[in-house]
Amino acid sequence: MNLLKISTSNLKDKPLTSFLSILLMALGIAIISLLLLAGKQIEEKFTRNVAGIDMVIGAKGSPLQLILSSIYQIDAPTGNIPMEEATRLTRSPLVKSVIPLSMGDNYQGYRIVGTNPKYLEHFQAEFEQGKVFENAMEIVAGAKVAKNLGLKVGDSFASQHGYDQEGHAHDAKKFKVVGILKNTNSVLDQMMVTPLESVWAVHDEEHHEEEAGKGANALKLLEEDNNAGANMPVDEGKEITSMLVKFRNPAMGMMMARSINLNSTLQTATPAIEINRLFALMGFGIDALKLIALVIIIVSGLSVFVSLYNSLKERKYEMALMLSMGASRTRLFFLLLLEGLIISVLGFVIGIILSRLGLWIMSENIEQNFHYDFNVLSLLKEEFWLFLGALFIGLLAASIPSLGIYNINISKTLADE
């Protein structure tokens, strides 16, 4: 027998009322915590993938789309650009390095991106198995892809055109897996990387041209490319999707970006700017949801308030009885406060579990559709504040009706009933 036992018994005695209060608290906490978690993870993913890339050059269109497709691999590309022009434009001492990307195919929904080994270096990728591609039609698979599709070194497969599994299969040319990457916690985990020549070969095949043999050329040239961007390979008429650019001095780079946008058929996009724009757009929705969650938590506080207020009226005699049995008013005040506290703590714990469950379901869903994954289990610093907030609301809601304890006239209450 102690205060905790009395208050839990009181809560159990009114299961529906307690359930409602706890549920409301849990829902509010779950929504806020889910928003915090998802926001944090998205932001983390977005910033990790963008690190080190100052500018993207691609076909004219939406700059946000260009960033999403080239850096995050989640939107369709804006179109193709001539490799020659992109190379010429980036031939400048301001440019530290360039990475060409060519997209257009997938295997089982995972994007196949033509590029060069510098792309792997950019992510500081390490090999779980095998080695980097050297020739056309050799391919390196990201950790998640390899795991989900069960790929290993030596496997071969035909890619499909487009970005989903329903695309037309390029049966004539088969890719051969030469390497499997370790987890990098970046977009690289969800994609497959091959030399640019493979993408050209697969698609030239459609035009009955034999180009695959030339595969190693571009690579060789790239390897000599120590002067960073100055000696990009120039393949007449070859097209790529976009080019990732690193500047020596990003501030000066902006001038170059402006001149490309004005004077060429290409466009440039700055990842940092576009991502900020995206977050600002999402921010409205997130703020609105947070407000709704806050309202739910306050309603939960109201529900605690009303149920305690009503039960105190019903339990007035009980309280007078306990006072006559030697309980002090302060002790009974804490007894009632404890009921609010238990609801807050239970609501918080259930809310946190719900949010993790929600994130896990979301993450499964997103991984299936976008090949993007979330890390589910981390506890956030903000959730500690959320906990204090929940306690505060529970205690506040409980304390107002509980103050009624100090107004009970013991003798009168005991005599009246």
* Min dist. Cβ of residue 3 to another protein (A): 9
Report the C-alpha gap between 310 and 324 in whole angstroms: 22
CB of 396 to another protein, least distance (A): 24
In contact, 136 and 195? CB cutoff 8 Å: yes
Residue 410 as a binder of another protein (CB under 8 A): the answer is: yes
Alpha carbon distances (Å) from 65 to 112, 142, 167, 222 = 18, 23, 21, 27
Which of 149, 294, 306, 327 forms a contact with another protein (CB under 8 A)? 327
Give 5 or 381: the residue with its C-beta nearer to another protein: 5
Closer residue to another protein, CB minimum distance, 202 or 319: 319
Burial degree of 290 (CB within 10 A; 0-12, 13-18, 19+): middle
Binding of another protein at residue 6 (CB under 8 A)? yes
Cα–Cα distance measured from residue 375 to residue 185, given in angstroms and rounded to the nearest whole number: 10
Asked if 178 and 138 touch (Cβ cutoff 8 Å), the reply is yes
Instruction: Decide if residue 75 touches another protein (CB under 8 A).
Output: no
Site membership for another protein, residue 414 (CB under 8 A): yes
Residue 262 engages another protein in binding (rule: CB under 8 A):
no
Assess 259 for contact with another protein (CB under 8 A): no
Helix or strand run (H / E) with residue 112 = strand 110-115
As a whole number of Å, the end-to-end CA separation of the chain is 26
Tell me which residue of 132, 112, 131 sits closest to 196, measured CA to CA: 112
Q: Of the two residues 272 and 408, which places its CB atom closer to another protein in the complex?
A: 408
Under a CB-based contact definition with an 8 Å cutoff, are residues 323 and 332 in contact?
yes
Nearer to another protein, 12 or 168 (CB): 12
Q: From residue 356 to residue 395, what is the string marking binding to another protein with x (rule CB under 8 A)?
A: ----------------------------------------
Burial tier of 298 (Cβ tally within 10 Å: 0-12, 13-18, 19+): middle
Q: Applying CB under 8 A, does 16 fall inside the site for another protein?
A: no
Q: Does the protein bind another protein through residue 328 (CB under 8 A)?
A: yes
Site residue total, another protein (CB under 8 A):
24
- Binding residues vs another protein (CB under 8 A): 1-2, 5-6, 9-10, 12-13, 315, 317-318, 321-328, 410-411, 414-415, 417
